[in-house]
Amino acid sequence: MIKLKMPDLNLADYLIENEIGVLSKFEYEEYKNAKAFGNMPMYAIVHAFLYGDPVDIVYFNDGQCFFEENDIIEDYLLDDPEFWFFDKPDEVHNAQIEGEEIIFSDDEDAIEWEGRYDDEAICNAFKLNNRNSPFASFVGIFYDEEGGIIADEGKKALDSVLTVAEAAELYGIGVSTIRKACISGRFMPYECRKSGSTWLVTRDGMKRVFGRVN
């Protein structure tokens, strides 16, 4: 058995980072107004919150919705090893991941690690797909345009851009601190975005989140 540090990411982080099921306003309105036979709604909509912002989760009306009204998405933790592919632990410990039973722990002797999301396991666990019987089929998520996590890309241009490494050097803080701020929604949607494997942030966003450069 190998004991790894508890991950500090949750389902909200996963949805934001991977932009799972993001619906445009047009798509959302189409689903919202669609009717089935007998004028019954074709889709069910659950109102929830993601880092304080309202989101509407849309399901096909074919079962029980996994999320409940006013759910707080960041309360759903990614604390099951089944949600992760493990790349490597901290090299200092010289631990081998493959073939070992893995547990997460907050103990001081737990090992630091690197890994990637197991998309299939996460989507299956939280019913973010259309193979959910008896749960309803997931359609997508609409984020509030005014203050939500993800806004229309044309709303504001991503100008005066820095990579997180450049921003970290400029502000004298850790790259991981800025990256976590991006993932957790501290930046406005037009202040950061991921390009390939690199996070980009605006100078204005850095000033708003971390203050002026010393």
- For the residues of 94-118, what is the DSSP string, one character each? T---TT--EEEE-STTPBPEEEEE-
How far apart (Å, rounded) are the C-alpha atoms in residues 146 and 43?
24
What structural domains and CATH numbers belong to the chain? 2-143 (no CATH), 161-208 (1.10.10)
128 class by beta-carbon count within 10 Å (0-12 exposed, 13-18 middle, 19+ buried): buried
Owner of token pair 């749960």? 135
pLDDT in tens, 125-134: 999 988 777 8
| Strands 2-5 and 102-105, sheet pairing | parallel
Question: Higher confidence at residue 69 or residue 37?
Answer: 69
pLDDT bucket at 77, cuts 50 / 70 / 90? very high
pLDDT in tens, 178-189: 999 999 888 887
- pLDDT, the chain, mean: 83
Q: What are the structure tokens assigned to 199, written together?
A: 């996070």
| Bridge partners of residue 163, in order along the sequence | 200
Q: What are the structure tokens assigned to 53, written together?
A: 């912002």
